[in-house]
Amino acid sequence: MRDTIHLVAVYSKTTMRAWFQYRVDAFLKSLAVFLREATGIIVVFFTLLKFDTLGGWNIYEMLFLFSILFLTYGIMIIFFTGLRDFGKTVRDGSFDRFLLRPRGLLFQIIFVNSDWFAALGHGGLGIALFLISAGKAGINWNVQNALYYVFTIAGGVLIQGAIFLFIAVLNIYLLQTDSLKEMLYWNMRKFAGYPISIFHKIIQTLMIYVMPFAFVNYFPAQYLLRKDDMNSYPEIFMYITPIVGIVMYLVAYAFWRFSIRYYKSSGN
C-alpha cells in the first residue's frame, strides 16, 4: 500500500510539472477554458433576467445547478483524463507500453495523466458559481446538508468517471469512438445544465436511466432546494447519487476486466 501511494504521488508530481512547465501559458489556457464555459452561463443569466424563471427555477437556483455540474467534472478530469483520451492511446500504440509494466492497467491509465487546464477551468467555474449562488438559492446549510453535498459530489464524479470508463472500453472493440463519446457524453451533458423537468419525457428517461446526468446535479439540487417539479419523480432519487455512482463504476470496471482480454494492438 505504501508503495502504491508513493507511486501515485510520483505520477501526480510528474504530471503537474509537465502541465505547469510554462506557468503563464498554463494560467492562460486554464483561463481560456474558464471563459469558454462561462460564456454559456452568461447567456443563461441574461435570459433569466428577461424571463425571471425557467421551469420554476430562478437565476440563483440555475447557477447552483450548473455549479455542481462543473465542479464534479473539474474533479473527475483530474483522475479520468486517461480514460477520456483512451481512444488515442489505443490507436497510437501507447497502450502497449502499459501492458509491459508491472502495475495494474487501469491504475496506470488513471494516474499517468491529468488535464489540469480543464480541471482548473471547469472546477474554478464550479466554485465561482457555488459562491455566487449557494447563499442566495434558499439552501439551509446545516451539517447534514453539507455532508450530503460532499457525498453527492463524490457520487457525481464516479458517475461521469464510469461513463468515461465504459466508452474507453469500447475502443478495444471499435478503435475509434470519438463520435460515440460526443453523442453519449458531451451532447447529453449539455442537457444536464438545466432542470430535466423542462424537457420531453424521452430526454428525461435518457437523463435518468441511460446517461444518468440527472443524478449528477438535478436530483442532488432537488434535495437541497425542494422544488415543486420534484413531485414528478420518486423521492428516493434525491438520496441515491453516491450509490448510483458506485454501482455504475463497478459495472464499468467489470466490463473493463472482461474486455481487456480481447485487446489487440492497433499495430502502430
Task: Copy the grid coordinates of residue 87.
Answer: 481512444
pLDDT, position 61: 93
Spatial distance between the Cα atoms of 142 and 131, rounded to a whole number of angstroms: 16
Q: Which residues pair with 57 in a beta bridge?
A: 54
Handedness of CA 5, 10, 13, 19 (dihedral sign): negative
Cβ-based neighbours of 55, under 8 Å, separated by 6 or more: 194, 195, 197, 198, 229
pLDDT, position 159: 96
Q: Whole-model pTM above 0.85?
A: yes
pLDDT, position 262: 82
* 56-90 pLDDT per residue, tens: 898 999 999 999 999 999 999 988 888 888 888 88
The answer to whether the beta carbons of residues 145 and 153 sit under 8 Å apart is no
Spatial distance between the Cα atoms of 123 and 127, rounded to a whole number of angstroms: 6
Long-range contacts of 24-28 (CB under 8 A, 24+ apart): 26/116, 26/117
pLDDT, position 261: 85
Side chain identity, residue 7: L
Q: What share of the chain is helix, strand, coil (3-state, %, to 5)?
A: 80, 0, 20
pLDDT, position 244: 97
pLDDT, position 2: 67
pLDDT, position 267: 59
The answer to whether the beta carbons of residues 108 and 89 sit under 8 Å apart is no
Task: Copy the grid coordinates of residue 140.
Answer: 439551509
Spatial distance between the Cα atoms of 61 and 168, rounded to a whole number of angstroms: 34
User: N- to C-terminal Cα distance for the chain?
Assistant: 35
Q: What is the pLDDT along the chain (268 residues), one digit of tens a residue?
A: 666 666 667 666 777 776 677 778 778 888 888 988 898 888 888 877 777 788 889 899 999 999 999 999 999 998 888 888 888 888 877 888 878 777 778 888 887 778 888 889 999 999 999 999 998 988 999 999 999 999 999 999 999 999 999 999 998 888 778 888 888 888 889 899 899 999 999 999 999 999 999 999 999 999 999 999 999 999 999 999 999 999 999 999 999 999 988 887 765 5
